[in-house]
Amino acid sequence: MFYLLSKSGPNYEILELPAGDAEIGAFLALRAPESNRTLVLQISDISYLKLPGEIEEIIRVTRASDMLVESQADGIFERLQDEIMDSKLLKCKVRGAIQDGGFSTNTLWAPSRMRSSIYAISFEDLKSSLRANTLIPVSLGRALGTKAPILLDLTDVDGALTLILGRKGAGKSMLAKSIVNSLVANGAKCLVLDVNNEYLSRLPSDEFAVWEPGVNLRFEFKNLSKGIFLALLEDLMELPPSSVLEISRTWDRLESSGRLSFLGLKREILASRINDLVKEALSRRLDVVYNSGIITDDPETIDPLAQLNRKGGFCISLALRGRSSFLRRLIIELLMKNIISALEKDEITPFFLFAEEAHTYQDMKFWEDLVTRMRHLGLSMFFITNEPNSLSNFIYRQADSLFLFNYFNDNDLFFLSRVSDLDTESLLSYVRGLPDRCCLAVGKITCNLPLLFETYADVIFEGGKTKTFFGARAIQTMKRASPG
Amino acid sequence: MSRHPQIELLFSEYIRSLPLMKREFNSPGLRFADTDMSVIGGVEDLRLLDPSAPALPIAAVDASSNMIGYSGGYAYELLRAGIVMKKGNGRMRLIKLGPFIIKSSSDGASFLFELETLAQRMAGRRIKNGIVLFDGTMIESTDSELTLGSFEGLSNSISLSKVVPVSRIGNSEELPKNPFIAKLKDEDCYLVRLSSNGFVLRARASTKDIESTAWLFSCLSRSDSIEMGYPRTMKLAHMYSKILSMDIISARLALFEKHNIRARDPIDGRKLLLGCLWG
């Protein structure tokens, strides 16, 4: 049974007597019969009711455990005393109200303390008031307390920016993979910038492909636009403007004579009558690009953009593991510039981009620019990272939905409390105590109600394997070797 | 008998030192009880306790009561008692009696005496050739004549007062620091210190002469852990017989759940007439 004890601003204190199994993050409905309105409360913390004499009673119980005890008392009395001692004080935050069947943020009223009825309510029950219907329902996990499947609407991540944050090993990649699977199953196209090569399908499948830069991900030089190539040299390789101009002239000359090729460009630069130092700097940069293998003169090269235009749902993961930081930047810069150009010209259809640890291969300005334009381009973006402060405030402000896994570190938690829309008290309470593979979802995806759920284990991808020195085999060998 | 004479003593000294009060206190008609009761001279036969006395089984008994409330013209009282027993070095045994809810038609009626007597008899039956301890404070405060006698199991009884008899000690510097017992002149009670530097307590015993009483207290000091001069078993008996606020809440709930009776606090005329600030 729940009883309303007190209210202070958006905070409500509810007494649960006898104590039940209410958990942090669960929802309670507080129905005020006189106005036919219902407040939606969410438990943000649980404590015990402060009772006069509770310390004395605890000492009595503790001391009695050292003694042989005979009790001559009415059983009902002891039961009631246990119930009172165990009664819980549920500290709740008001999240909104239900009135006339619809959800409202108007909570500027106080329900009757004596006549209100309070009962537990699930997210699924609330959803009927939150939205008319769920267009593409997908289950990404189970509610923490009730274990009931949580159905979210996949259209909420379409054209949206979603952040998945959590400390290493907390399960954020697992959730990202579940979302990828759901998207692919519903005919969506996904591109994953995979820094750890962990989005590899367990079984051969047409729906899940891997791009290995220089192997099956190459751009034919003559298909590249001059602007993209020059921007690559200027932005990424810090080529001075005078040298960029020299390359531009050479490019134009070769193109007009129908001799445009990467090797042709390099030969032309080497043969030109320019300063030797400039010539050497240009040559060295062109060598770096060529050796990356991502640009080729091979006419047999399959255009990556054409692959992105395939019909049906699929996921391509760009395997970046083992590449130097510079090469990663080069590959991403080239790929993304081409993709953006193609999206602008409507040459490819909208798709979902998953960027794992995005700050390691592009600076924030690049991502901020992309986020600003993503809706117009037709990009839906996911940032997945274990370093919350690697993303800029701008990214947080633009985020539509946030999935937060466990963090222990106070600096990370306080940073998140500053940038997220959720109140600090709730965020700290929810995120600090989350077990692995459980997350807090908030934003558009949950109709702005903070929701705690346990994610499902992914079965499609191989997953990020941790290579250890003390692997199972090594431990077995050591056990055999150790005497006794 | 005041409940906290030692506190009152300190407080009265403070009041007396105030400039305006000095004249009043020095007036011939006013005397403070604590200043003229030096009874060291009133002690007869002071003996040190024998450290070689044997350890005996001990049972400590205490009971308490509290009003739950009123309903339908009846008063509802809550009672509980605790018996703590110690035999040698074995585990202590605790017998919890109650809480019991007593319904009575009279305001002043209390069943505390009956429960305490019952608990004492039960303790006396449970131990053989030992010592039954009980709280002497109540005897002093109510002037009840609880039976201080030998029990069926041939155990002797001792009543100890939790109230430190500061006013009866006078110059405590003159008392031995080591465990002792001293009979008060013209009274059937003793001053006793059960551990070195422990508090001096007022006590009574079922034994007839100072010889056997000294031996009984010597056995007590050897049989139980003495904390600040007070036996541990007795302290535990107080703990387990005390009625806490939570006991009252549980009792009210139990009354309602089992008998559909809503016990209410009595009407406080003072509060009604003077208001919440001055009532």
Does pLDDT of B86 surpass 70? yes
Measured at the CA of A88, the angle between CA A82 and CA A90, to 5 degrees, comes to 170
A197 sits in the region (left: phi over 0; alpha: psi -120 to 50; else beta) called left
Cβ(A6)–Cβ(A12) below 8 Å? yes
Among A237, A271, A296, give the residue marking a domain's end: A296
Q: CB of B244 within 8 Å of any CB in chain A?
A: yes
The pLDDT value recorded for residue B38 is 37
The pLDDT value recorded for residue B29 is 40
Tell me if B92 and A54 make a contact (CB, 8 A cut-off): no
Q: Within a domain: residue A48?
A: yes
Indicate the residue of A54, A60, A80 with minimum beta-carbon distance to B250. A80
Q: CB of B76 within 8 Å of any CB in chain A?
A: no
Tell me if B94 and A60 make a contact (CB, 8 A cut-off): no
A17: closest CA of chain B, how far (Å): 12
Q: Within a domain: residue A43?
A: yes
The domain tally of chain A equals 3
Tell me if A69 and B96 make a contact (CB, 8 A cut-off): yes
**Once rounded to an integer, what is the mean pLDDT over residues B219-231?**
92
Position A106 confidence tier, pLDDT thresholds 50, 70, 90? confident
| Residue A363 and residue A409 share a domain | yes
| Residue A288 and residue A338 share a domain | no
Q: Give chain A positions within 8 Å (CB) of B93.
A: 67-70
What integer best gives the mean pLDDT of chain A?
88
The pLDDT value recorded for residue A109 is 87
The pLDDT value recorded for residue B143 is 42
Does pLDDT of B67 surpass 70? yes
Does pLDDT of B79 surpass 80? yes
Cβ(B221)–Cβ(B195) below 8 Å? yes
Measured at the CA of A82, the angle between CA A81 and CA A84, to 5 degrees, comes to 65
Which residues of chain A are at the B interface, by a Cβ-Cβ cutoff of 8 Å? 51-54, 56-57, 59-60, 63-64, 66-74, 76-77, 80-81, 84-85
The pLDDT value recorded for residue A466 is 63
| Residue A288 and residue A313 share a domain | no
Among A296, A317, A336, give the residue marking a domain's end: A296
Q: CB of B81 within 8 Å of any CB in chain A?
A: no
B202: closest CA of chain A, how far (Å): 27
Q: CB of B68 within 8 Å of any CB in chain A?
A: no
**Once rounded to an integer, what is the mean pLDDT over residues B251-270?**
87
Q: CA B224 to CA B230: how far, in whole Å?
A: 9
**Once rounded to an integer, what is the mean pLDDT over residues A461-465?**
65
Tell me if B250 and A77 make a contact (CB, 8 A cut-off): yes
Q: What is the pTM of this model?
A: 0.76
Q: What are phi and psi of B179, to 5 degrees?
A: -55, 135
Indicate the residue of B93, B245, B253 with minimum beta-carbon distance to A52. B245
ipTM of the assembly? Answer: 0.76
pLDDT tens per residue, range A241-262: 888 888 899 999 998 998 889 8
Q: CB of B99 within 8 Å of any CB in chain A?
A: yes
| Residue A19 and residue A156 share a domain | no
Q: CB of B88 within 8 Å of any CB in chain A?
A: no
Does pLDDT of B63 surpass 90? yes
Position B137 confidence tier, pLDDT thresholds 50, 70, 90? low
Q: Within a domain: residue A464?
A: no
Q: How many contacts, defined by CB atoms under 8 Å, are there between A and B? A: 77
Q: Within a domain: residue A466?
A: no
Position A14 confidence tier, pLDDT thresholds 50, 70, 90? very high
Q: Within a domain: residue A482?
A: no
| Residue A109 and residue A14 share a domain | yes
**Once rounded to an integer, what is the mean pLDDT over residues A69-74?**
84
Q: Within a domain: residue A116?
A: yes
The pLDDT value recorded for residue B148 is 58
pLDDT > 70: what percent of chain A? 95
Best of B247, B256, B261 to mutate (most A CBs within 10 Å, chain A): B247
Measured at the CA of A209, the angle between CA A203 and CA A212, to 5 degrees, comes to 120
Tell me if B91 and A51 make a contact (CB, 8 A cut-off): no
pLDDT tens per residue, range B97-114: 888 888 888 666 678 888
Tell me if B94 and A68 make a contact (CB, 8 A cut-off): yes
Indicate the residue of A57, A67, A81 with minimum beta-carbon distance to B94. A67
Q: CB-based contacts of B260: which residues, under 8 Å, 6+ apart?
A: none
A72: closest CA of chain B, how far (Å): 5
Q: CB of B260 within 8 Å of any CB in chain A?
A: no
More confident residue, B164 or A437: A437
Q: CB of B151 within 8 Å of any CB in chain A?
A: no
Cβ(A401)–Cβ(A446) below 8 Å? yes
Q: CA B24 to CA B14: how far, in whole Å?
A: 14
The residue of chain B nearest to residue A51, with distances taken between CA atoms, is B246
Position B31 confidence tier, pLDDT thresholds 50, 70, 90? very low
Tell me if A76 and B258 make a contact (CB, 8 A cut-off): yes
Q: CB of B119 within 8 Å of any CB in chain A?
A: no
Tell me if B239 and A52 make a contact (CB, 8 A cut-off): no
Position A228 confidence tier, pLDDT thresholds 50, 70, 90? confident
Does pLDDT of A478 surpass 80? no
| Residue A97 and residue A9 share a domain | yes
| Residue A317 and residue A201 share a domain | yes
Q: How many CB atoms lie within 10 A of CB B78?
A: 25
Does pLDDT of A347 surpass 70? yes
Kindly report each contact of residues B190-198 with a partner whose C-beta sits within 8 Å and lies 24 or more positions away, as own/partner. Answer: B190/B217, B191/B43, B191/B165, B192/B160, B192/B217, B193/B229, B194/B49, B194/B220, B194/B221, B194/B226, B194/B229, B194/B230, B194/B231, B195/B221, B195/B226, B195/B227, B195/B228, B195/B229, B197/B229, B198/B226, B198/B228, B198/B229, B198/B230
Does pLDDT of B142 surpass 50? no
**Once rounded to an integer, what is the mean pLDDT over residues A206-212?**
88
| Residue A181 and residue A325 share a domain | yes
Position A20 confidence tier, pLDDT thresholds 50, 70, 90? confident
| Residue A225 and residue A258 share a domain | yes
Tell me if B94 and A57 make a contact (CB, 8 A cut-off): no
**Once rounded to an integer, what is the mean pLDDT over residues B230-257?**
92
Instruction: Calculate the alpha carbon distances from A465 to A169, A198, A199, A239 in Å.
Output: 11, 8, 11, 39
B256: closest CA of chain A, how far (Å): 11
Indicate the residue of A53, A68, A76 with minimum beta-carbon distance to B257. A76
User: Is residue A358 classed as helix, strand or coil in its secondary structure?
Assistant: helix
| Residue A230 and residue A206 share a domain | no
Best of B79, B250, B257, B258 to mutate (most A CBs within 10 Å, chain A): B250
**Once rounded to an integer, what is the mean pLDDT over residues A36-58?**
91
Indicate the residue of B93, B244, B250 with minimum beta-carbon distance to A56. B244
- Domain spanning B44-241 has what CATH number? 3.30.420
Q: CA B21 to CA B62: how far, in whole Å?
A: 41
Range of the domain at A179: 149-218+301-455
User: Is residue A150 classed as helix, strand or coil in its secondary structure?
Assistant: strand
More confident residue, B28 or B80: B80
A136: closest CA of chain B, how far (Å): 51
Does pLDDT of B194 surpass 90? yes
Q: Where are the domains of chain B?
A: 5-36, 44-241
Tell me if B246 and A68 make a contact (CB, 8 A cut-off): no
The residue of chain B nearest to residue A76, with distances taken between CA atoms, is B254
Tell me if A52 and B257 make a contact (CB, 8 A cut-off): no
| Residue A9 and residue A126 share a domain | yes
pLDDT tens per residue, range B9-26: 334 444 445 554 454 445
Position A8 confidence tier, pLDDT thresholds 50, 70, 90? very high
| Residue A334 and residue A213 share a domain | yes
Task: For residue A179, give the CATH number of its domain.
Answer: 3.40.50.300
**Once rounded to an integer, what is the mean pLDDT over residues B63-89?**
90
The pLDDT value recorded for residue B37 is 35
The pLDDT value recorded for residue B11 is 41
Q: CB-based contacts of A279: which residues, under 8 Å, 6+ apart?
A: A269, A270, A272
Does pLDDT of A396 surpass 50? yes
User: Is residue A55 classed as helix, strand or coil in its secondary structure?
Assistant: helix
Q: Within a domain: residue A135?
A: no
Q: Enter the tokens of residue A276.
A: 């030797």
